[in-house]
Homo-oligomer: A and B are copies of this chain.
Amino acid sequence: MRKEPIRVAIWGFGAMGSGMARMILSKQGFDIVGVCDMFPEIVGKSIFALLNVPNPYKHDVIIQSDIEALLNENHPEVVLCATDSFTKGAYPKIKLLLEKGCHVISTAEEMAFPQANNPILAASLDQIAKCHQKVVLGTGVNPGMMMDLLAIALTGVMTDIESIEISRINSLSPFGKTVMEEQGVGLSLPEFHAKKQAGQIAGHVGFKESTQMISTALGTKLSDFQQNMDPIVTKVDRESFYGKADKGHVCGVAMKASAILDERIPLHLNHPQQIEPHSEGIQTGDYIHLKGKPAIHMAITPEVEGGLGTIAICVNMIPHVMNAKPGLKTMIDLPVPRAIIGDVRQLLETE
Chain A interface (Cβ within 8 Å of chain B)? 23, 26, 141, 145-146, 149-150, 152-161, 217-221, 261-262, 265, 292-294, 296-302, 304-305, 308-313, 315-317, 331-344, 346-347
Contacts and interface: CB of A to CB of B under 8 A. Distances in A.
Given A150-B154, A333-B335, 18 more contacts: A26-B159, A26-B160, A153-B337, A153-B338, A156-B316, A156-B337, A156-B338, A157-B309, A158-B312, A159-B308, A161-B341, A218-B342, A219-B342, A219-B347, A220-B342, A293-B308, A297-B301, A335-B336
B159 A311 contact: yes
Contacts of A339: 155-156, 158-161, 218, 292
A344 B219 contact: yes
Nearest to A19: B159
Enumerate the 4 nearest inter-chain pairs by beta-carbon distance, A residue then B residue, closest first.
A156-B337, A219-B342, A155-B339, A157-B309
A149 B219 contact: no
Assembly stoichiometry (copies): 2
A15 to B, nearest CB: 14
Given A145-B157, A304-B294, A304-B296, A219 B340 contact: yes
A53 to B, nearest CB: 14
A215 to B, nearest CB: 9
Contacts of A333: 335
Given A294-B309, A304-B294, A346-B219, A338 B155 contact: yes
Contact of A219 (B153, B300, B343): B343
A298 B145 CA distance: 14
A296 B300 CA distance: 7
